[in-house]
Structures are given as structure tokens and as C-alpha cells.
């Protein structure tokens, strides 16, 4: 499924804010004529988007995938859509069965902002040292303690890739890991922007990572540039204690 997270307090249900989960459960419960609870692969935070979110739910109804998909999308708001449905094994769990997740952070580096993309990218008017940012990003790959970038409790995660790609004025940071800590991607990007602006260098970035101290890292990058773009399911196994992040 995909959604524009701009007007939501995140994916997960909250008492005082609209959420993607609440909208999806409302639509599914109406179509299935029973209370439905969904589980998401990534618990994205307020303002964060998704183009490749995966959810699971259980129902006693025997509606076909096409019929269910059409009905749910007809009831969902315009900023949320279900792109595909299929039966899953009884043991499948959208979150705990996932073996990898990929997030993308988009930055516009240009003298003027693009008003049409303001909800999808972080605008920076001054040039960035992308080569230095790439050097620093390479130090993220591997199994490490990423507490220095977490918005909450820290922990060890395995980052498989972390790369920057330039497409005209758009700069994309794509990172894949087995799981993420809460706030981890935004903390990483915010600190990498320090590198890009010359406030620190790749060696110092490595020292921040090794410190496990969030106070030493840069401010979290804004939520609007972040999107969950893919969730992997395969043979790899991980502990249920490896909670994924809440805002990436």
C-alpha cells in the first residue's frame, strides 16, 4: 500500500491524531462487516510517507482480492491506496516476517523550492558536498549500534546499503537494513547534512556513530522527505525484539 503521510500522526493508531492504520481499519471493517485489525511492516511516524508499505490482517469473509481491493480503495481517503492484495500463510506477520526494509530520503538542492513537491522533499538552497556525504554514508554499512541516531532506545541493526543518488536538483538517500530504530533514518540524514555543509567530516561522522550518543549527532531531518519504499520477505531470520523504527 501507499500513502501521503502529511496529514497523519503516523501509521500506528493514536488516541488524538488521525492515522493511516485507523483509516485502513475503518475501511476494511466496513467492507468485511467485522472488526479488523491490521499490522504494518513499518510504523512510520508523523509526516512520513510510504510507497511500499506491507500490512496483514485476518478476516472470516471470503471476498476475492479484486473485490476487496476495489471496496477498500473506494472507502479510503485520496491520500491512501491499497495497490495489491493476496492470501498469506497463517504464520505470516507483516512486521516480524520482514527480513529487510528500504527507506528513501529526498532533498531538493536548488535556489528555489518546488511548491508542488513540498510534501515529498526537504528543500536546501545551498550546495552540499555530496562526495563527502557518500564517504560518510559508507561507514554505515554493517552490523552496528546505531544509538547515536535513534529518537528513542538504541540498539544494533544491520545496514546492507546506504547510497546517495543525484538526479538534477534532486538528491536521494536510499538505505536498506534488516530493521530500523525509531528516528534512525532521519537522525542519519540530519547528521549527513552536517557533513554536506562542512560542519563535520566523514571521520567525525564515524566517531559520532561509534559514540552511541544521540546528543553528538545532528538534528533529525524533517519528516516530509522520508518514504518507506520497500519491504523484503525471505529466508533471513531476526528476533522479534528487533523492533523497527516508528518514523521511517
Which residues are the active-site residues? 45
Residue 109 β-bridge partners: 124
- What lies within 8 Å, CB to CB, of 239 at 6+ separation is none
> Which of these, 141, 104, 119, 101, lies nearest to 245 by C-alpha position?
101
Is 59 in contact with 28 (CB distance < 8 Å)? yes
Angle between helices 130-138 and 184-196 (to 10 degrees): 140
- The grid coordinates of residue 3 equal 500513502
**Angle at alpha carbon of residue 202, lines to 100 and 138, rounded to 5°:** 30
Amino acid at each position: 500500500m501507499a500513502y501521503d503521510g502529511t496529514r497523519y500522526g503516523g501509521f500506528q493508531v493514536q488516541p488524538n491524531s488521525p492515522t493511516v492504520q485507523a483509516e485502513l481499519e475503518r475501511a476494511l471493517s466496513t467492507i468485511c462487516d467485522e472488526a479488523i485489525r491490521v499490522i504494518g511492516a513499518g510504523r512510520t511516524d508523523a509526516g512520513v510517507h510510504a510507497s511500499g508499505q506491507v500490512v496483514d490482517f485476518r478476516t472470516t469473509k471470503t471476498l476475492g482480492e479484486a473485490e476487496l481491493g476495489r471496496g477498500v480503495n473506494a472507502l479510503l481517503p485520496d491520500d491512501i491506496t491499497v495497490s495489491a492484495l493476496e492470501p498469506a500463510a497463517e504464520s505470516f506477520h507483516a512486521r516480524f516476517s520482514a527480513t529487510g526494509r528500504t527507506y528513501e530520503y529526498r532533498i531538493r538542492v536548488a535556489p528555489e523550492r518546488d511548491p508542488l513537491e513540498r510534501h515529498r522533499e526537504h528543500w536546501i538552497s545551498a550546495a552540499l558536498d555530496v562526495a563527502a556525504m557518500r564517504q560518510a554514508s559508507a561507514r554505515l554499512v554493517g552490523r552496528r549500534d546505531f544509538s547515536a541516531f535513534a529518537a528513542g532506545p538504541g540498539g544494533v541493526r544491520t545496514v546492507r546499503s546506504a547510497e546517495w543518488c543525484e538526479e538534477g536538483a534532486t538528491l536521494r538517500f536510499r538505505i536498506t537494513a534488516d530493521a530500523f530504530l525509531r528516528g534512525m533514518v532521519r537522525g542519519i540524514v540530519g547528521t549527513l547534512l552536517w557533513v554536506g555543509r562542512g560542519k563535520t567530516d566523514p571521520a567525525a561522522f564515524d566517531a559520532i556513530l561509534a559514540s552511541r550518543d544521540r546528543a553528538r549527532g545532528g538534528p533529525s531531518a524533517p519528516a516530509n522527505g522520508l518514504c518507506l519504499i520497500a519491504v523484503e520477505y525471505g529466508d533471513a531470520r531476526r528476533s522479534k525484539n528487533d523492533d523497527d523504527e516508528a518514523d521511517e
